[in-house]
Amino acid sequence: MTFKKNILCIGAGYVGGPTMATIAYKCPQYKVTVVDIDSERIAQWNSDNLPIYEPGLDEIVKTTRDRNLFFDTDIKRGVKGSDIIFVSVNTPTKTFGAGAGMAADLQYWEKTARQIREYAQSHKIIVEKSTLPVKTALAMERILTSSDNEISFEVLSNPEFLAEGTAIKDLEYPDRVLIGSRETASGLKARDELVEIYANWVPRERIITSNIWSSELSKLVANAFLAQRISSINSITALCEKTDADIIEVARAVGMDSRLGSKFLDASVGFGGSCFKKDILNLVYLCRHYGLEEVADYWEGIVRINDYQKERFVLKMLSAMFNTLAGKKICLFGFAFKANTGDTRESPAIFIAKRLLEEKAELVITDPKALKNAMMDLYGIHENIRYVEDPYEASAGCDAIAVMTEWELYANLDFEKIYRSMGKPAFIFDGRNILDHTRLFEIGFNVFPIGKPALTHF
């Protein structure tokens, strides 16, 4: 079969895999190849056990794989044979040198640019899918055009807004697709080629275009605003707990103002995930780079509140359980950074598990999808942790349960059975406010929600 165009994606991760599977699914006329340096990951993409769990992903990969979707390790062949190259490699926070702990580590990104330059034999459109600091496209252009060959490149910015756990739905029905380009004739032509791909399934009015720097910046700002809402509501949970106000009631009252909206106001033990913290720190670093100290401080406050919320949760457990956790058994319900994913990157559960271990508690960790990642996150800490998939078995004999992830299954457990199997007094710390607190109290638990009065038998 001859395809209309050949699309390559470099980086077969949480973004590259689902995004390209969706393009292949919606556009059978395009050939889509996804390459990665991680051969094990590529082998998993080619197997029945995909490397990531995402509702709906298995089905679309099954439909498209080896039809017009291919996973490969041969980057050279991929680059040579492609017309459009998406780059969705990881851009973590730098851990060394200048900007350590703040700036984006662009080493993987830059390596990709050099590989494209080395292997390309014809004109290519390069699409920034990864989240990047503003002006990265300029650096990309400079690398691509710094060789003697005559090959031309056009760099576009097309940030991804999917959230894990709902990636396929977000990709099928995006609020918007953003495409930033240079405003030159060739820039606009490349932009239109990318618009044409998305227009196969996204309503035209949802595909928005902008200049390339606005597009790069919009991605950082969107994540900063989303995280800001969580830190805002989480900061108020602390005040609720001091004043007997109820965060659920406050969030409802605030969110019913149509100017504010009700989404993303679920108080929690803190936000996690690979991006919010990294992207805010990236924004903060950029602001400091341009001498905008007040702006940087403002956005950095969101990360500070998130750290405070996680520590506050541990201190609440400590004080509720008579100021000592040493030797006590605590069961963590959930380890993923949110429900419906096995991803644990920056999960608040990692911080809380480590802090509880510091307090010499014994941990039992349960999660329907994330136990393997949890073991890797806590690798090297062998003592005092058990990993048990069944929540009943996991909580039996424990003194406390702490809900870390809002998996629906936890709301539907038989808590009378769980209560009977636990040590007494039995505690529940609901870091996601997903349980029926009154009912738990009636069963006999001492219940500590987030941002709501505690229900205790003392």
Contacts with ligand NAD by CB under 6 A lie at: 10-16, 35-38, 41, 75, 88-91, 108, 111-112, 130-131, 160, 162, 164, 274-275
Q: In the bound complex, what is the minimum distance in angstroms from residue 202's beta carbon to ligand NAD?
A: 17
User: Which positions touch ligand UGA (CB under 6 A)?
Assistant: 131, 160-164, 223, 226, 230, 264-266, 268, 271-273, 275-276, 337-338
Spatial strand order of the sheet with 362-366 comes to: 385-387, 362-366, 329-333, 400-403, 427-430, 446-448
Residue 108 binding partner per list ligand NAD, ligand UGA, none, with a CB distance cut-off of 5 to 8 Å that depends on partner kind: ligand NAD
- Tell me how crowded residue 245 is: count the other CB atoms within 10 A of its CB: 15
DSSP 298-326: HHHHHHHHHHHHHHHHHHHHHHHTTT--T
Indicate if the alpha-carbon torsion angle 224, 225, 230, 233 is positive or negative: positive
Nearer of residues 163 and 238 to ligand UGA, judged by Cβ: 163
Write the burial class of residue 256 (CB in 10 Å: 0-12 exposed, 13-18 middle, 19+ buried): exposed
Contact 366, 391 (CB under 8 A): yes
Exactly one of 27, 240, 275, 331 is catalytic; which is it?
A: 275
Q: Which of 323, 322, 398 is nearest to 363 (CA)?
A: 398
Q: In the bound complex, what is the minimum distance in angstroms from residue 270's beta carbon to ligand UGA?
A: 7
Nearer of residues 109 and 313 to ligand NAD, judged by Cβ: 109
Nearer of residues 226 and 317 to ligand UGA, judged by Cβ: 226
**Cα–Cα distance between 382 and 365 in angstroms, integer?**
13
Q: What stretch of H or E contains 17?
A: helix 16-26
Residue 337 binding partner per list ligand NAD, ligand UGA, none, with a CB distance cut-off of 5 to 8 Å that depends on partner kind: ligand UGA
Q: In the bound complex, what is the minimum distance in angstroms from residue 297's beta carbon to ligand UGA?
A: 22
Residue 30 binding partner per list ligand NAD, ligand UGA, none, with a CB distance cut-off of 5 to 8 Å that depends on partner kind: none
DSSP 344-398: -TT-HHHHHHHHHHHTT-EEEEE-SS-HHHHHHHTTT--TTEEE-SSHHHHHTT-
Residue 264 binding partner per list ligand NAD, ligand UGA, none, with a CB distance cut-off of 5 to 8 Å that depends on partner kind: ligand UGA
**Cα–Cα distance between 313 and 319 in angstroms, integer?**
10
Q: For this structure, is 331 an active site residue?
A: no
CA 252 to chain centre: 25
Residue 226 binding partner per list ligand UGA, ligand NAD, none, with a CB distance cut-off of 5 to 8 Å that depends on partner kind: ligand UGA
Nearer of residues 321 and 374 to ligand UGA, judged by Cβ: 374
Q: Which of 360, 362, 385 is nearest to 374 (CA)?
A: 385
Nearest residue to ligand NAD by CB is 13
Q: In the bound complex, what is the minimum distance in angstroms from residue 206's beta carbon to ligand NAD?
A: 17
Residue 158 binding partner per list ligand UGA, ligand NAD, none, with a CB distance cut-off of 5 to 8 Å that depends on partner kind: none
- Tell me how crowded residue 381 is: count the other CB atoms within 10 A of its CB: 13
Q: In the bound complex, what is the minimum distance in angstroms from residue 117's beta carbon to ligand UGA?
A: 27
Nearer of residues 110 and 141 to ligand NAD, judged by Cβ: 110
Residue 230 binding partner per list ligand UGA, ligand NAD, none, with a CB distance cut-off of 5 to 8 Å that depends on partner kind: ligand UGA
CA 387 to chain centre: 23
Q: In the bound complex, what is the minimum distance in angstroms from residue 118's beta carbon to ligand NAD?
A: 12
Nearer of residues 78 and 449 to ligand UGA, judged by Cβ: 449
Nearer of residues 54 and 362 to ligand UGA, judged by Cβ: 54
* 91-107: burial string, b at 16+ Cβ within 10 Å, e else: bebbeeeebeebbbbbe
**Cα–Cα distance between 429 and 402 in angstroms, integer?**
5
Q: In the bound complex, what is the minimum distance in angstroms from residue 164's beta carbon to ligand UGA?
A: 4
**Cα–Cα distance between 175 and 177 in angstroms, integer?**
7
Active site residues: 275
